[in-house]
Amino acid sequence: MAPSIPALLVLEDGRHFFGESFGATGETFGEAVFSTGMSGYQETLTDPSYCRQVVIATAPHIGNTGWNDEDDESTRIWVAGYVVRDLSPRPSSWRANRSLTDEMETQGIVGIQGIDTRALTRHLRECGAMRVGISTHDLDPGSLVKKVRDTPVMAGADLACEVGVDQPYVIKAEGEKKFTVVALDLGIKSMTPHLMSQRGMEVHVLPPTAILEDIMALKPDGVFFSNGPGDPATADRQMELLKTLLADHVPYFGICFGSQIFGRALGFKTYKLKYGHRGINQPVKDLGTGIVEITAHNHGFAVDAPLDGEVETPYGQASVSHICLNDQVVEGLELHRDGQLVGFSVQYHPEAAAGPHDAGYLFDRFASMMESSRA
Amino acid sequence: MPKRTDISSILVIGSGPIVIGQACEFDYSGTQACRVLREEGYRVILVNSNPATIMTDPQFADATYVEPITAEIVEKIIVKERPDALLATMGGQTALNTAVTLAQSGVLDKYGVELIGANIDAIERGEDREKFKEVVASLGDLPGGAPEVARSFTCHTIDEVVEAATKLSYPVVLRPSFTMGGKGSGFAHDEKEVRLMAEIGLDASPTTEVLVEESILGWKEFELEVMRDRKDNVVVVCSIENLDPMGVHTGDSITVAPALTLTDREYQRLRDIGIAVIRAVGVDTGGCNIQFAVNPDNGRIIVIEMNPRVSRSSALASKATGFPIAKIAAKVAVGYSLDEIPNDITGETPASFEPTLDYVVVKVPRFAFEKFSGAEDTLTTHMKSVGEAMAIGRNFTEALGKALRSLEDSRAPLRLSGPLMQKQEALTSAARPHDGRLQDVVQAFRAGATVEQVREATGIDPWFLDQLVIILDVAHELAEASDLDETLLRKAKRHGLSDGQIAEIRGVNEHDIRDLRWNLNVRPVYKTVDTCAAEFAALTPYHYSTYDEETEVRPRTKPAVLILGSGPNRIGQGIEFDYSCVHASMALSSAGYETVMINCNPETVSTDYDTSDRLYFEPLTEEDVLEVYAAEAAVGEVAGVIVQLGGQTPLKLAQGLEAAHLPLVGTSPQAIDLAEDRGEFGEVLAQAGLPAPRYDMATSSADALDIASKIGYPVLVRPSYVLGGRGMEIVYDNSTLTTYVTTVTVASETNPVMIDKFLDDATEIDVDALYDGTDLYIGGIMEHIEEAGVHSGDSACVLPPITLGSEVIERIRTSTLAIADGVGVRGLLNIQYALAGNTLYVLEANPRASRTVPFVSKATNVQLAKAAALIMMGSTIQELRKQGILWADHDGSYPPDTTPVAVKEAVMPFNRFHTSEGQSVDTLLGPEMRSTGEVMGLDSSFGIAFAKSQTASYGSLPTSGRVFVSIANSDKRHAILPMQMLADMGFEILATTGTSEVLRRNGIDARTVRKRSEGLGPQGEKTVVDLVLNHEVDLIINTPYSGASSGSTRRDGYGIRSAAIMADIPCVTTIQGLIAVVQGMSAARKGTITVRPLQQWAEAMRPGK
């Protein structure tokens, strides 16, 4: 066994854990969040929504299936740091090309292993999300905590531009093209355009800085705003853009950050959850059908909207379509005009990756909404 | 959807006796189901023949029928109770098959009983392999396309099987339809094997149907536990990965939860398939289990099978996740949707979610091959394990180490030091799946094998192999370190090494390591199983130990009582002991204590987080128990530690725990020792003037012969160092004795052989009693039906005794009091007596809960274990009589006339085991216990009670037809009368030459048939074995000849009994059994057998009635 390099994790309130380094050595800071998924660390680490966050895996063994060339959800690892209890010494999967620790080292991602991740998770649950630092250089908790407290907080952070693409690109429809969709990349995951293209959508992924003209030039059948990191309260520009699109009667679908922007466009407020939803086992109820779906979540903020009844907006009647059964948090919004669905969004991840496929029907719903808006 | 109001009463079918493949996990499921249904306000009617279950406690149902689970009897119950619905998904394959029979025969329709949970179509689609294949193949809409099943053919004859095997190319798998625990299934590598297995398989299947399938041997194996409700919500409760690759029955595999070697994409594909399958099969409500094989080289997935019911894996998954599958399944069966049911553990989140684990669970099977001489111990798709232990750790290595030491098998914990095996020898041994394979893997590594080599040999996923290498690396560090420091010690504990293992590596004593560890403050913390990886606060204190930073044990105000459970089920220690522990917990909880259960058996009710106030899922070793005690003592008063109720497992710990100053309550460890020490116990008997059979210890063969001549044949011989009847034999002559002490167990100074006078022709008597230091309360007196010499656990018995006079009973009473007092019992006591001639011999006394406590409690409606627990905590028998816990003015020695006659019969697992030549193992009962379970027959008359007990264990007794009889000379005169009765009932009697002569001379017409040793006759007359195999015989009576190792007569008997097992024909091996069988059959012929619930019996027994 290679000699271990000690590492230190310190939370902004001073609680600290000693462990061992894996991946890259160095020092990293971010918002401490825990994710309860038991599978899919590769997808999690490459999910742009985790930008500037230090992810704590509650699953005790991480790295078991190594790293492959197919499961990335974006072009790189986005997490600011990774905290695990037991790192697997070697991968076992017929698809693995390399190990997790090697990949993290290559990409310069600092990891710490061997700590009581459950204690850390319970602490975050009780005390709420907070900043954290991990270091292999500074093993003095008193000194590291000062650095942690100097880093910016997540509330008020505008990170879309940090993770979105610079240049537009297109994902062709599989089979016959039925729709043109413009997807605003606020931190989009690869699985999203993939699932759209499977349903006959040609997806034009635009940078987060795209303006109305860029979008309308493509004559989209529908517009999609992706998930992404940061505080939705900062996304004023995208919200204004969406308002214009809604006023223009462009069918809209949003996921996660895209749902929070939708909520704001409809006149609702967003707020920061105590410690967020991050996992792939969250029960969400579709209030329309009464059916419960098990869904992938990754959100620290949520929309504050009334769970019952409709709210009149300039664009139609808005209502809550989905809620999380664990805590009644708003998980989906719908906009109807003249009795017709013209826009909807979910706070969770129907594209899954990682996660269950229960909510895949939402992509079909997007297709049929675009279909009926044409008629 | 709220619960259904169109039904008001529900019949629940249990799973009957504990057998291999169907153990107490169904008691756990059934208890949960009954409890939930009653809470929901339904009238619950329960049928289960197994008295040792918690579910058959009268409080869990409105009408509890301890009756045989046959279609005929269940129909009688339906007629009497007219339930609106039948829930058959909680009682294993037994319940499901019974429900199918009742549905197919029209009984359910006739009485308007609706099957809930799974309807008949769904059951058939799930169970019928051909239909199941069609269902799977129809799922073409799934992303990724329709799932695959293994290529296969359904066959109904041996020739069809052979043809199919040729098409698929060998090896092939045979799977009989509608059997449980993989009975009759396995791999065939050539035509010879396929023919043999086809015959067994076709026979095992109630529909004479066998599926012949392509081999997926060596693939990775996974299971999903899936739940569905009436709104079509589906959740996957748990994923389970088998460490042993395909080819070993999942019940015999080491299994791990959650699955650890799948990427999310692969896992989600399994999940998609699992959900689609449960929907397509149409399991309306409740849980089911789906098994998959995954090719490790390319990820190809094969759906193996599904169980449209709660299964053994459901119990494991419930304990592994904290999601109570049976409880939720019962709720959805009566109409609730998953989102309407709260998750008990968090209190605030709903059951419509998927548990996520922040720990690893490892289950290891426990086998009993040593009990079945000659049995082939290669593991196959045919389940052979008799129990299992589960452990929870914060990583795999920790959970594995804990699981292996939970087995209480000294060979199980990984041997990390000491002699090395040859590498090739270890690899070769590891290549064959068998009990102890993991040990071979570790020894192969120690001998220098690489992960690749071991993977090649075993097919075990390299991820798991790597984890074993980590353990060995730690062991190496421990061995090399000059001093053990905190860091290294903590590392070793984090990888699951016990203090004992560390001590062995360091060449010191376990206590030295413990002292050092405690001095360095390397102590475990206790985490909580909370279904949600700490996302929400947990309300239920369901704990496991780990070497991490933060503990979650909460302070308490009430004094605690720690109850040590009985560990993994094994032959001789099973559900009966769990029953006593659960009862103690209930009694002490209501008496104001906070009860703390420690156990490691996932199948049990005791390890339900609902049973005790706190649950520690921990191994029952001194180290682990001391740590739990320390953790609990740190948060409040511990008023007592109970070691007397869980059988030998906790009892063995008593001395060590007392030495560590734990407040053991009840009978003191010194008293326990006294009862086990023959010398000291002999003095107690001598002082009380009680006779015991003579005995002595032989250290050489001359010594043995000398002793035998002094005490007289027959003698019972056994090695002195083994308990529980291992290696015991009854010996009748010098030559056999010489053979025994020179070959079977070599007598020496260090290894003396115990020689006891064996009481031929004696009646054995079992007594369960309570003693508080002043008063004695006889719980029950049981008279054995088998002759002395058959282990009491294997012997049928009857309560109240049917042939003992009041003078004998009075002597039993005074003797029991003298022993209880002489030994110093506080609580339960079990004594075995033998009545030979007019002498009442004391065979042994066990100052603890016995196997028969639940039987006696059910038969007399007095909860002995509850009373015992209260006595241990200071109550007196007088008080308990006043409180109505015990009978006020009499006890089990003189039960009221309204007490039913209760017959207990043992259920034997012989059909599970074969010799390497494919023969059945010997079924002869003897001094070594081999039964896995028991049933109870209840009636007001002995004959019917006995007939019920036989029906419950072996299926209905014949009421007409052909009887084969072969009686040992010493038994012949006792056989005349019962044989005459059989003849009078119109049975045709076949007999061997000697027996038929005796019968004819007594005026009983008997046809002589050839023994197997005589071969076919000149005109092709069949031997008895052929007749049995051809099902030309309906009942076999074959009492063994004296002299365990003597020649051809014994081999003939062996052949007959083997054939009886293969042909599933009842076989009586003792004269006492014969007499009882005849009475039972006569009763069955004469009158209609009636059914009566325990609650009615109890009402009748109430004083003043």
User: How much is the pLDDT for B725?
Assistant: 55
E-strand spans in B170-319?
172-176, 186-188, 210-214, 220-228, 234-242, 255-257, 286-294, 301-307
In chain A, % of residues over pLDDT 70: 99
Nearest CA in chain A to B295: A94
User: How much is the pLDDT for B1044?
Assistant: 42
User: Contact B536/A37, CB-based, under 8 Å?
Assistant: no
User: How much is the pLDDT for B919?
Assistant: 66
Alpha helices in B876-1033 (DSSP H): 877-882, 942-954, 972-984, 993-1001, 1024-1029
Tell me which of A109-123, B871-885, B908-922 is least confident.
B908-922
Name which of A42, A88, A292 is nearest B233 (Cβ-Cβ).
A292
User: Contact A38/B263, CB-based, under 8 Å?
Assistant: no
Banded model confidence at residue B185, pLDDT cuts 50, 70, 90: confident
In this model, does residue B1051 exceed pLDDT 70?
Answer: no
Residue A219, both tokens? 């004559």
In this model, does residue B485 exceed pLDDT 50?
Answer: yes
> Is residue B504 helix, strand or coil?
helix
In this model, does residue B1046 exceed pLDDT 50?
Answer: no
- Please report the sign of the dihedral spanned by the C-alpha atoms of residue A121, residue A124, residue A126, residue A128: negative
Is A101 touching B (CB cutoff 8 A)? no
In chain A, % of residues over pLDDT 90: 95
Q: Which DSSP symbol is given to B500? A: H
Residues sharing a CB contact under 8 Å with residue B1047, sequence separation 6 or more, in sequence order:
none
User: How much is the pLDDT for B920?
Assistant: 65
CB-CB contact of A220 with A182 (8 Å): yes
> Of A256, A293, A299, A334, which residue is the catalytic one?
A256
Nearest CA in chain B to A324: B349
* Per-residue pLDDT tens over the stretch B1014-1028: 888 888 888 888 888
User: How much is the pLDDT for B373?
Assistant: 72
User: How much is the pLDDT for B290?
Assistant: 95
Angle of the B264-281 helix axis to the B129-137 helix axis, nearest 10: 120
Is A328 touching B (CB cutoff 8 A)? no
User: How much is the pLDDT for B925?
Assistant: 66
Q: Which DSSP symbol is given to B575? A: H
Pick the closest to residue B264 from A47, A114, A86 (CA basis).
A47
User: How much is the pLDDT for B954?
Assistant: 80
Query: Can A351 be counted among the known catalytic residues?
Result: yes
Is A172 touching B (CB cutoff 8 A)? no
User: How much is the pLDDT for B348?
Assistant: 87
In this model, does residue B811 exceed pLDDT 70?
Answer: yes
Written as one letter, the residue type at B793 is G
User: Contact B353/A122, CB-based, under 8 Å?
Assistant: no
CB-CB contact of B604 with B525 (8 Å): no
**Mean pLDDT across chain A:** 96
In this model, does residue B915 exceed pLDDT 80?
Answer: no
CB-CB contact of B314 with B326 (8 Å): yes
CA distance B890 to B800: 14
User: Contact A36/B535, CB-based, under 8 Å?
Assistant: yes
User: How much is the pLDDT for B1047?
Assistant: 39
* Per-residue pLDDT tens over the stretch B250-299: 999 999 999 999 999 999 999 999 999 999 998 877 788 999 999 999 99
Residue B608, both tokens? 């339900």
Written as one letter, the residue type at B266 is E
Written as one letter, the residue type at B523 is R
User: How much is the pLDDT for B1045?
Assistant: 41
In this model, does residue A164 exceed pLDDT 80?
Answer: yes
Half-sphere exposure of B636 (CA within 13 A, CB side): 16
Measure the CA angle with vertex B370, ends B367 and B371; round to 5°.
90
**Mean pLDDT across chain B:** 91
> Is residue B822 helix, strand or coil?
helix
Per-residue DSSP letters for B933-952? EEEEEEESSHHHHHHHHHHH
What is the helix, strand, coil percentage profile of chain B, to 5? 40, 20, 40
User: Contact A43/B264, CB-based, under 8 Å?
Assistant: yes
Buried b (16+ CB within 10 A) or exposed e, B638-647: bbbbbbbbbb
Half-sphere exposure of B172 (CA within 13 A, CB side): 28
Pick the closest to residue B155 from B214, B215, B212 (CA basis).
B212
CA distance B830 to B644: 12
Q: What value does the CA radius of gyration of chain B take, rounded to a whole number of Å?
A: 29
CA distance B852 to B797: 10
Query: What does the pLDDT average to over B595-617?
Result: 97
CB-CB contact of A131 with A29 (8 Å): yes
CA distance B768 to B762: 20
User: How much is the pLDDT for B1065?
Assistant: 83
* Per-residue pLDDT tens over the stretch B353-377: 999 999 999 999 999 888 877 788 9
Name the pairing type of β-strands B114-116 and B85-87.
parallel
Is A279 touching B (CB cutoff 8 A)? yes
User: How much is the pLDDT for B870?
Assistant: 98
User: How much is the pLDDT for B1052?
Assistant: 63
Name the pairing type of β-strands A179-184 and A222-225.
parallel
**Hey, of B231, B400, B463, which one would you mutate to test binding to chain A, going by the most A CBs within 10 A of its CB?**
B463
Half-sphere exposure of B445 (CA within 13 A, CB side): 26
Is the previous residue joined to B559 through a cis bond, with omega within 30 degrees of 0?
no
Is A97 touching B (CB cutoff 8 A)? no
In this model, does residue B853 exceed pLDDT 80?
Answer: yes
CA distance B899 to B945: 12
User: Contact B350/A325, CB-based, under 8 Å?
Assistant: yes
Neighbours of B803 (CB within 10 A): 10
Query: What does the pLDDT average to over B446-461?
Result: 96
For residue B248, give how far its alpha carbon lies from the nearest alpha carbon of chain A (Å).
Answer: 21
Query: What does the pLDDT average to over B944-969?
Result: 88
Buried b (16+ CB within 10 A) or exposed e, B593-622: bbbbbbbbbbbbbbbbbebbbbbbbbbbbb
CB-CB contact of B14 with B26 (8 Å): yes
A83 neighbourhood in chain B, CB within 8 Å: none
Is A29 touching B (CB cutoff 8 A)? no
User: How much is the pLDDT for A158?
Assistant: 86
Pick the closest to residue B543 from B618, B447, B470, B621 (CA basis).
B618
* Per-residue pLDDT tens over the stretch B200-258: 888 888 888 998 988 898 899 999 999 999 999 999 999 999 999 998 999 999 999 99
Residues sharing a CB contact under 8 Å with residue A184, sequence separation 6 or more, in sequence order:
A164, A206, A208, A210, A215, A223, A224, A225, A226, A238, A241, A258
CA distance B822 to B1077: 39
User: How much is the pLDDT for B1053?
Assistant: 67
User: How much is the pLDDT for B371?
Assistant: 81
Neighbours of B80 (CB within 10 A): 15
Pick the more confident residue, B119 or B1041: B119
Residues sharing a CB contact under 8 Å with residue B264, sequence separation 6 or more, in sequence order:
A37, A39, A40, A42, A43, A71, A280, A353, A354, A355
CA distance B907 to B881: 35
Residue B7, both tokens? 């039904």
In this model, does residue B1054 exceed pLDDT 70?
Answer: no
Cα A323–chain centre separation: 17
Residue B955 backbone dihedrals phi, psi, to 5 degrees:
95, 170
Query: What does the pLDDT average to over B386-408?
Result: 97
* Per-residue pLDDT tens over the stretch B51-102: 999 999 999 999 999 999 999 999 999 999 999 999 999 999 999 999 999 9
Angle of the B648-659 helix axis to the B622-633 helix axis, nearest 10: 60
Is A33 touching B (CB cutoff 8 A)? no
Query: What does the pLDDT average to over B534-562?
Result: 96
For residue A59, give how far its alpha carbon lies from the nearest alpha carbon of chain B (Å).
Answer: 5
Question: Can you give the three-state secondary structure of A198-267, one letter per residue?
Answer: HCCEEEEEECCCCCHHHHHCCCCCEEEECCCCCCHHHCHHHHHHHHHHHHCCCCEEEECHHHHHHHHHCC
User: Contact A357/B233, CB-based, under 8 Å?
Assistant: no
Query: What does the pLDDT average to over A147-155?
Result: 92
Banded model confidence at residue B103, pLDDT cuts 50, 70, 90: very high
Tell me which of A181-185, B812-816, B1014-1018 is least confident.
B1014-1018
Pick the more confident residue, B748 or B939: B939
In this model, does residue B1048 exceed pLDDT 60?
Answer: no
In chain B, % of residues over pLDDT 90: 68
Query: What does the pLDDT average to over B583-606?
Result: 97
Run of H or E residues at B560 = strand B560-564
Name the pairing type of β-strands A316-324 and A310-313.
antiparallel
- What's chain A's length in residues? 375
Query: Can A256 be counted among the known catalytic residues?
Result: yes
CA distance B847 to A210: 83
B537 neighbourhood in chain A, CB within 8 Å: 125
CA distance B387 to B568: 5
User: Contact A119/B232, CB-based, under 8 Å?
Assistant: no
Banded model confidence at residue B1103, pLDDT cuts 50, 70, 90: low
Query: Can A349 be counted among the known catalytic residues?
Result: yes
User: How much is the pLDDT for B720?
Assistant: 65
